[in-house]
Amino acid sequence: MALVLEKMTTEKRNPNTMKLDRMSPLEIVTVMNQEDELVPKAISGHLDRIAQIAAWGTQSLEQNARIFYMGAGTSGRLGVLDAAECMPTFGVSADTVIGLIAGGEKAFIRAVEGTEDSRDLGREDLIEYDLTDKDLVIGIAASGRTPYVLGGLEYARKVGCHTAAISCNADSEIGRAAEIAVDIVIGPEVLTGSTRLKAGTAQKMVLNMISTAAMVGAGKAYQNLMVDVVQTNEKLRKMCQEIRPRDTCQLKEGQK
């Protein structure tokens, strides 16, 4: 399908920032703050679908299966970030929540040209991890049409596992390729097309919801405390000593 930018809300010009290059720093950060306030309101209409994705995540975790995030650019980096943070927060292994970014790990730091435009790479990355029907695959793309993500979702559907898509454009292609679509329309960016801004914020918030609710559902919390937090620094060790039942904190290997 041909790429038509003018049909994408994320690529349109924001009427509130047409004079961005003439704004003072205070004016810029003020309008950014005002635009960011729209994000949680836009997400609120999708909570039932986000909750279902989290429930699938819990189901996968309880079956010793995995949660995969797939994306390119900012979307991919956000998936890798959330996956990485699950390890110390919930005491899970590195192969429990897996972030896949088009172009591989090196693309987290520097863009790898052309990789996001390959459906084959998305499929191949999941094949390399021996995807099963018990896993959960979540595609992330602000545009809603990234070929790398589409290829991964299409393969995941063939394998038979649950699939979900997070985008920031209505009726997204990745949404149509997944069981559940979370298309959060947050409007044009302050800086035209820079989806690391509102779109990135929206995706980060949704990923926080999914991973946290999935882990809590899998027994990774006692009341509102982290049960299996890994004590990797002085703050966490002190927190475990002072405010938690002793059995809610896991010592990192080699610590006393």
Average pLDDT for 142-160: 97
Helix (H, G, I), strand (E, B) or coil at 2: coil
Q: Stretch 22-50: mean pLDDT, rounded? A: 98
Mean pLDDT of 126-155: 97
Q: Where are the domains of the chain?
A: 40-217, 221-250
pLDDT at 105: 85
Compute the mean pLDDT over every residue in the chain, rounded to the nearest whole number. 90
Higher-confidence residue of 6 and 187: namely 187
How many Å is the maximal CA-CA distance in the chain? 59
Q: Are 66 and 202 in contact (CB under 8 A)?
A: no
Contacts made by residues 111-120, CB under 8 angstroms, sequence distance 24+: 111/73, 115/72, 115/148, 116/72, 116/73, 116/146, 116/147, 116/148, 117/147, 117/148, 118/147, 118/148, 118/151, 119/147, 119/148, 119/150, 119/151, 119/154, 120/151
Reading the block at residue 60, the tokens are 């996968």
Statement: residue 248 has pLDDT above 50: yes
Q: What is the pLDDT of residue 242?
A: 59
How much is the average pLDDT of 220-239? 72
For residue 67, the surrounding DSSP H or E stretch is strand 67-71
pLDDT exceeds 70 at position 185: yes
- The closest alpha carbon to 85, from 189, 232, 247, 192, belongs to 232
At residue 159, what is the residue type?
Answer: V
Return phi, psi of residue 83, to 5°.
-60, -45
pLDDT for position 251: 44
pTM for this one?
0.88
Q: Are 251 and 228 in contact (CB under 8 A)?
A: no
Query: Which position among 11, 35, 116, 173 bears the catalytic label?
Result: 116
Dump pLDDT digits (tens) for 95-113. Answer: 999 999 999 888 888 877 6
Q: Is the separation of the CB atoms in 21 and 27 below 8 Å? A: no
Instruction: From residue 218, give the alpha-carbon distance in Å to each of 57, 65, 211, 212, 222.
Output: 9, 12, 11, 10, 11
Average pLDDT value for residue range 145-172: 97
183/249: higher pLDDT:
183
pLDDT of residue 117: 83
Mean pLDDT of 193-197: 95
pLDDT digits (tens, 9 = 90+) for 7-24: 789 999 999 999 999 999
Give pLDDT, residue 252. 43
pLDDT in tens, 196-216: 999 999 999 999 999 999 999
pLDDT bucket at 241, cuts 50 / 70 / 90 = low
Annotated catalytic, 128? no
Answer whether 165's CB lies under 8 Å from 180's CB. yes
Of the two residues 97 and 116, the one the predictor is more confident about is 97
Catalytic residue at 116?
yes
Please report the pLDDT score of residue 183 as a whole number: 98
Per-residue pLDDT band at 243 (split at 50, 70, 90): low
Average pLDDT over residues 235-245: 57
**Position 232 pLDDT exceeds 90:** no
CATH architecture group of domain 40-217: 3-Layer(aba) Sandwich (3.40)
